[in-house]
Amino acid sequence: MAREPQRPKYARVTEDTFASLIRLFMASPKWALPPPKGYAENTKTSWGGQLAFMSRPDCLGAISVQEIRPSLVQAFFDGIADRPGKQETSLAVLRQLEKWAIVRELLPRQITLGIEITKSDGGHTPWSDAHVETAEQHARGDLARAVTLAAHTGQRGSDLVRMGPTDVETFDGIDGINVIQQKTKRQVWVPITSTLAAAMATWERRPGPFLRRLDGGVWTRKALYTAWVYERDHNPDLAALRALGLVPHGLRGHACVRLLRAGANTRQIADMVGMSEDMVKRYTRLSAQRENASAAVYHLERTLRERETSMTDKNAG
């Protein structure tokens, strides 16, 4: 009787392995510190999952710390090339580990030098007005409300799920929502636009956060994002959003573009959404180019019409 082929045996994880270095990093004071010197809890949750994956002996975990080098790390990233979001998160935390380890002489060399990853195609893509309108009209009610709140405030999911009526404060005659951002610990006051105010007036008022599940329960950021992705991928009316891979984080960029088109400059937008001005510029660069290009077309056509009118009047005279 033929024996079944044995599964390949991987090297045992020892103290001279990359997995051991990962454990040291996650047990370090640097990992434990809160922002701004350390990492936010949501960031550590996301990064921790990627580190656990990399720790596996069939990934990078069993490689000796003395032998690990960019070519081996690139091979790991090539193996997950079909998951650009995972690549991006893994590279971000790997660079933090590398920085921490090299200065403590726990790594003999850089291991992320020259690493190439697949460009993400949707996670941070700003939604268009049409995308937002489609989601508001056709997504499940509790998720449509989340899209509206995110589109007008530009906040991360971890902050959206915590906003509630008690956070609303009036300043200089304008209502706004006080937010202590979970990732940065920065306190911001986000103005409530007239469009958002009109939408909020239709929401049922109850103690706790604005965003609720259909059963009345509260959301976590992860649960909200998971529910959105499922709705996007299974609701035929959201096919256009599914094709682009749009996720709630892209609504931060949408909020910036919305404010830019309303006449706010990048510094004002940065203050309104609690974002760095460089990030605002990144989100709005395409929109600004389009606005400038369309303005140039209008200017050119107006000039041509004026010239034609002038020539007609001259010939008639």
Q: Are residues 269 and 205 in the same domain?
A: yes
If you average pLDDT over residues 77-102, what whole number do you get? 89
Q: Are residues 41 and 174 in the same domain?
A: no
User: 146 falls in which pLDDT band (50, 70, 90)?
Assistant: very high
Q: What is the rounded distance in angstroms from the CA atom of residue 255 to the CA atom of residue 257?
A: 6
Q: Are residues 133 and 98 in the same domain?
A: no
> Is 221 inside a domain boundary?
yes
Q: Are residues 60 and 147 in the same domain?
A: no
User: 286 falls in which pLDDT band (50, 70, 90)?
Assistant: low
> Of residues 109 and 293, which shows the higher confidence score?
109
Mean pLDDT of the chain: 85
CATH of the domain at 241: 1.10.443.10
pLDDT of 297 reads 64
DSSP label of 245? T
pLDDT of 131 reads 93
Q: What is the rounded distance in angstroms from the CA atom of residue 65 to the CA atom of residue 17?
A: 5
pLDDT of 299 reads 62
Q: Are residues 155 and 249 in the same domain?
A: yes
Number of domains in the chain: 2
pLDDT digits (tens, 9 = 90+) for 176-229: 999 998 888 888 899 898 999 999 999 988 889 999 999 999 999 989 999 999
Q: Are residues 148 and 230 in the same domain?
A: yes
Q: What is the rounded distance in angstroms from the CA atom of residue 113 to the CA atom of residue 153?
A: 37
Residue 139: pLDDT over 90:
yes
pLDDT of 288 reads 60
> Is 5 inside a domain boundary?
no
> Is 255 inside a domain boundary?
yes
> Is 313 inside a domain boundary?
no
Q: Are residues 142 and 68 in the same domain?
A: no
Q: Are residues 226 and 84 in the same domain?
A: no
pLDDT digits (tens, 9 = 90+) for 235-275: 999 999 988 888 898 899 899 988 887 778 889 888 888 88
DSSP label of 119? P
> Of residues 129 and 310, which shows the higher confidence score?
129
Contact 190, 168 (CB under 8 A): no
Query: How many CA within 13 A on the CB side of residue 316?
Result: 6
**Domain containing 52: what range?**
18-103
> Is 91 inside a domain boundary?
yes
If you average pLDDT over residues 277-302, what whole number do you get? 70
Q: What is the rounded distance in angstroms from the CA atom of residue 161 to the CA atom of residue 227?
A: 13
Q: What is the rounded distance in angstroms from the CA atom of residue 269 to the CA atom of residue 308?
A: 41
pLDDT of 284 reads 80
User: 6 falls in which pLDDT band (50, 70, 90)?
Assistant: very low
Q: Are residues 99 and 151 in the same domain?
A: no
> Of residues 312 and 27, which shows the higher confidence score?
27
Which structure tokens are listed for 251? 């609504």
Q: What is the rounded distance in angstroms from the CA atom of residue 156 to the CA atom of residue 273?
A: 10
Using a 10 angstrom Cβ sphere, with 0-12 exposed, 13-18 middle and 19 or more buried, the burial of residue 149 is: buried
> Is 262 inside a domain boundary?
yes
What is the CA 44 to chain-centroid distance, rounded? 15
Q: Are residues 44 and 97 in the same domain?
A: yes
Which structure tokens are listed for 123? 């996670």
Select from 143, 149, 147 the least CA-distant residue to 131.
147
Q: Are residues 85 and 145 in the same domain?
A: no
Q: Are residues 260 and 134 in the same domain?
A: yes
> Is 81 inside a domain boundary?
yes
> Is 277 inside a domain boundary?
yes
